[in-house]
Structures are given as structure tokens and as C-alpha cells.
């Protein structure tokens, strides 16, 4: 890492006001929700007498609602202000996680995860703007701080889920509810009140209209295909391994750390060398190769492949967003909403179908091969040359990794 990059990272954490740290803390807890249930999927299946295809619906409902909500979060923030939107999201998460701990059936748990996804959409889509608006040292440093919160959340979520889940599958939900309640209290007290200035009006249809741009549409569809492979790894690996919650949690903790390092450190360097579009296409090809490796019927190979895939996922989480934000002339918030709608639609579809694919083909490793094919298609879409020249610089304002989750 260069000295200049070291400086940026140091500036991101020095002298920040309280509301930046509080929002970043809440962001860590919110991002933990992505991998929290991963180590306890088998425990949930046993405790609620559910089939694997039913348990993976915990990802489907969470992501599916988040996908739809992403289309309205921009309009909600413009209407109600950032602080109110953040607090609404946190309240929904606290209520949903607390009730998850008391769920008596897989259907109730799936429904509550949907409420959790709604709250996460309202919080995550707004938290970055809060951090950027309040942070000292410029927007680039604030975004780096937000990316760091993302990485910590992805790494700690599976580990917390494993430790509390070894006691009971209800434990991780109780722990998350307590932490998010603390974040809600701190945000209520310390976040600045919204100004009374007139906010820009965002129509509900604007994100979908932005997808009329061919380059943004190709990038968004390519990202959806990659995200389907991403959630194949996240949602299906625990069932293939059939190991304890702690073992799975440690594996995905290592995976999350790789995501964080690659997203903050490696992705900007790769984009600067190859250009955003080319770097993204190469990384997707690499992910396709890794998915093919995961299809090898060997648990040690699967474990190593999952951890290494975190590095490529970290690259792609940053590069796809950078490409999407720079390829069209649509306002950043609008382009991001349309892009994220497509992206997480792919994740929701994968979480729904992954168990069925394994059953139809008759092999637990089959979903990984399907993910490899999807990544090859995504790479082909990105290989289509855009009309405008590809930039060899990753704009700091384009790195909206947090808005992807």
C-alpha cells in the first residue's frame, strides 16, 4: 500500500465527530446481518424442523424486500430527511431481530427476516450520506471509513452468529437486537437534526428509468449474475460442509476479512491499472474459475476456495459499483438505486433456487457450477465496449460499497 493510501486511511479515522463514529458503529451491526445466520443455518433447520430449501428463504426474504425497498429509500430520505430515515430503519431492525429470537416456525422467521431487510434498506441507503456529510477530511476518507465498517460487519457477523449460535440458534438474534438497540439510542441522541433546506425531489420511477442507459443496464445485469454466485457461496456452503456453527463461523470470518482488505486496498489499485470496466471483467472471470474449483467434491478444497473467494468478492463489490456509477450520466443516487435493485434481485433469486438446483441435479456441488456459468455470462456482458472511453481512475465518490449491502 502506498504512503498516500496510508494517509487516506489514517485521515479517515482521525478527528471524526461523534455522529460519524455512531453511524459507523450502527453500520457495522447492520452489515453483520448479512452473514449472521450463515453459521446457524443447520441449527435453525434442526430446531424448526425445516428443509434446506426452506432455510435458505431467510436470505430470499431479507434480500427480496431490500431489493424493492431500495427503489423507495431515496424518495423517503428526500421527504423525511436522513436522520428520520436512519432511525426508522434501526427501529425496524430492532423489532424484527428481537421477534426472530421468539419465532416458533420457519415461516415466522422468514417473514421477520423480510422486516429486517426493509429496515436494513432504509438504514444502509442513508447512512453513507450521513457519514459523508458529517465527516472531516473530505469525502474519500469518509467513504473509506464506511468501507471499513462494511468489512468489519461481514467478518464479525459470522463469528458472532457462531459463538452465540453454539448456545442456541436464537442467541445471535438476541445479541443483534441488543446491539442495534444501543445503536438506535446513540443515533437518536447524537445524530444532527435534519436541516429545513428544500431537499431534491426523487421520483419512485427514476431508478428504473436510469436503467434505460445500455451501459448501466449491462453492468447492473452483470452484477446481478455475479451476486447470484456470491450468495450461492454464502447460503449453500454451510449445507455442503455440514460442520458445527463455530467452524462455519470461523471460515466466513476469514472470508469477511478478505472482502474488507480487497475492497479497501486492492480494488482501487487494480482499477487504476486496468480501468474499471476491464478490471471488473477480469475479476468476474476469476470468480468463475473459483466457483468451478468449489464444485470439486472435496471439503478442504471448498474451505480454501470460500476464503480465497472473499478477495475476489471484495474487488467486485467495489469495482462493479465504480463501473455502474461512472458509466452513465444519471445522478449518483438514482443510478445507484437502479443498479442495486438489479444486483440484489440476483442474490434473492439465488437464495431461493440454490437448494432446488442441488436436488434437481442430484449433487450438492451443482449450484457452484451454475454460479460459474453465470459469472462467465457476466464477463461477456462487461466485455461489450461502451461508447464512452473507459476511465483508468476510480473516482472516490463512485465507491459506494455500503449501498450494495
In this structure, CATH architecture of domain 3-195+203-404: Up-down Bundle (1.20)
Q: What is the pLDDT of residue 240?
A: 93
Q: What is the pLDDT of residue 137?
A: 59
Q: What is the pLDDT of residue 7?
A: 41
Helix, strand or coil, per DSSP, at residue 400: coil
Backbone angles phi, psi at 64, to 5 degrees: -60, -45
CA dist 347 and 356 (Å) reads 15
262 secondary structure, DSSP code: I
Q: Where are the domains of the chain?
A: 3-195+203-404
Handedness of CA 372, 373, 378, 381 (dihedral sign): positive
Q: What is the pLDDT of residue 394?
A: 42
For the chain, 405 residues long, give each residue's pLDDT as a single digit of tens: 333 443 444 555 566 777 778 888 888 887 787 777 778 888 888 889 988 888 888 888 888 898 888 778 767 766 777 788 888 999 999 999 999 999 989 999 999 999 998 998 888 767 766 766 666 655 555 666 766 777 788 888 888 888 888 888 898 899 888 888 988 888 888 776 665 555 556 676 777 888 888 888 999 999 999 999 998 998 899 989 988 888 988 998 899 889 888 887 888 888 888 888 889 999 999 999 999 999 999 999 999 999 999 999 989 988 887 777 778 777 766 777 788 788 888 988 888 898 889 999 989 999 999 999 999 999 999 887 765 544 444 444 444 443 444
Q: 3-21 b/e with 16+ CB inside 10 Å = b?
A: eeeeebbebbeeebeebbb
CA dist 190 and 371 (Å) reads 44
Contacting residues for 395 by C-beta, under 8 A, at least 6 apart: 322, 325, 326
Q: What is the pLDDT of residue 102?
A: 92
- H-type alpha helices, 81-213: 82-100, 106-134, 139-165, 171-190, 206-210
Residue with cell 444486483: 343
Q: What is the pLDDT of residue 8?
A: 47
> Is-contact 103 109, C-beta < 8 A?
yes
Q: 25-64 b/e with 16+ CB inside 10 Å = b?
A: bbbbbbbbbbbbbbbbbbbbbeebebebbbbbbbbbbbbb
Amino acid at each position: 500500500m502506498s504512503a498516500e493510501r496510508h494517509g487516506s486511511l489514517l485521515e479517515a479515522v482521525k478527528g471524526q465527530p461523534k455522529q460519524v463514529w455512531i453511524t459507523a458503529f450502527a453500520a457495522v451491526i447492520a452489515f453483520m446481518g448479512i452473514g449472521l445466520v450463515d453459521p446457524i443455518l443447520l441449527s435453525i433447520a434442526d430446531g424448526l424442523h425445516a428443509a434446506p430449501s426452506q432455510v435458505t428463504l431467510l436470505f430470499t426474504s431479507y434480500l427480496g424486500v431490500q431489493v424493492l425497498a431500495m427503489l423507495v429509500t431515496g424518495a423517503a430520505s428526500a421527504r423525511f430527511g436522513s436522520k428520520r430515515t436512519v432511525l426508522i430503519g434501526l427501529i425496524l431492525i430492532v423489532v424484527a431481530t428481537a421477534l426472530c429470537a421468539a419465532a416458533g416456525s420457519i415461516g415466522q422467521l422468514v417473514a421477520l427476516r423480510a422486516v429486517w431487510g426493509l429496515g436494513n434498506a432504509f438504514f444502509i441507503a442513508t447512512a453513507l450520506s450521513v457519514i459523508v456529510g458529517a465527516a472531516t477530511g473530505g469525502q474519500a476518507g469518509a467513504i473509506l471509513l464506511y468501507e471499513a465498517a462494511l468489512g468489519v460487519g461481514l467478518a464479525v457477523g459470522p463469528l458472532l452468529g457462531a459463538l452465540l449460535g453454539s448456545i442456541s440458534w436464537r442467541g445471535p438474534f438476541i445479541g443483534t437486537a441488543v446491539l442495534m438497540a444501543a445503536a438506535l439510542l446513540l443515533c437518536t441522541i447524537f445524530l444532527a437534526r435534519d436541516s429545513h433546506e428544500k431537499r431534491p425531489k426523487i421520483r419512485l420511477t427514476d431508478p428504473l428509468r436510469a436503467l434505460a442507459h445500455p451501459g448501466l443496464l449491462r453492468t447492473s445485469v452483470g452484477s446481478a449474475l455475479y451476486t447470484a454466485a456470491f450468495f450461492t457461496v454464502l447460503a449453500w456452503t454451510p449445507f455442503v460442509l455440514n460442520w458445527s456453527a463455530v467452524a462455519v463461523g470461523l471460515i466466513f470470518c476469514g472470508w469477511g476479512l478478505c472482502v474488507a482488505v480487497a475492497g479497501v486496498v486492492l480494488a482501487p489499485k487494480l482499477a487504476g491499472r486496468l480501468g474499471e470496466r476491464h478490471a471488473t471483467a477480469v475479476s468476474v472471470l476469476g470468480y468463475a474459475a473459483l466457483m468451478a474449483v468449489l464444485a470439486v467434491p472435496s471439503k478442504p478444497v471448498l474451505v480454501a476456495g470460500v476464503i480465497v473467494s472473499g478477495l475476489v468478492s471484495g474487488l467486485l463489490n467495489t469495482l462493479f459499483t465504480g463501473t455502474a456509477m461512472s458509466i452513465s450520466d444519471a445522478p449518483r443516487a438514482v443510478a445507484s438505486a437502479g443498479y442495486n435493485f438489479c444486483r440484489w434481485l440476483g442474490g434473492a433469486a439465488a437464495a431461493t433456487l440454490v437448494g432446488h438446483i442441488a436436488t434437481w441435479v442430484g449433487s450438492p456441488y451443482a449450484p457452484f457450477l451454475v454460479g460459474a456459468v453465470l459469472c462467465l455470462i457476466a464477463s461477456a456482458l462487461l466485455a461489450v465496449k461502451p461508447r464512452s472511453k473507459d476511465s483508468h481512475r476510480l473516482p472516490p465518490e463512485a465507491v459506494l460499497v455500503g449501498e450494495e449491502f
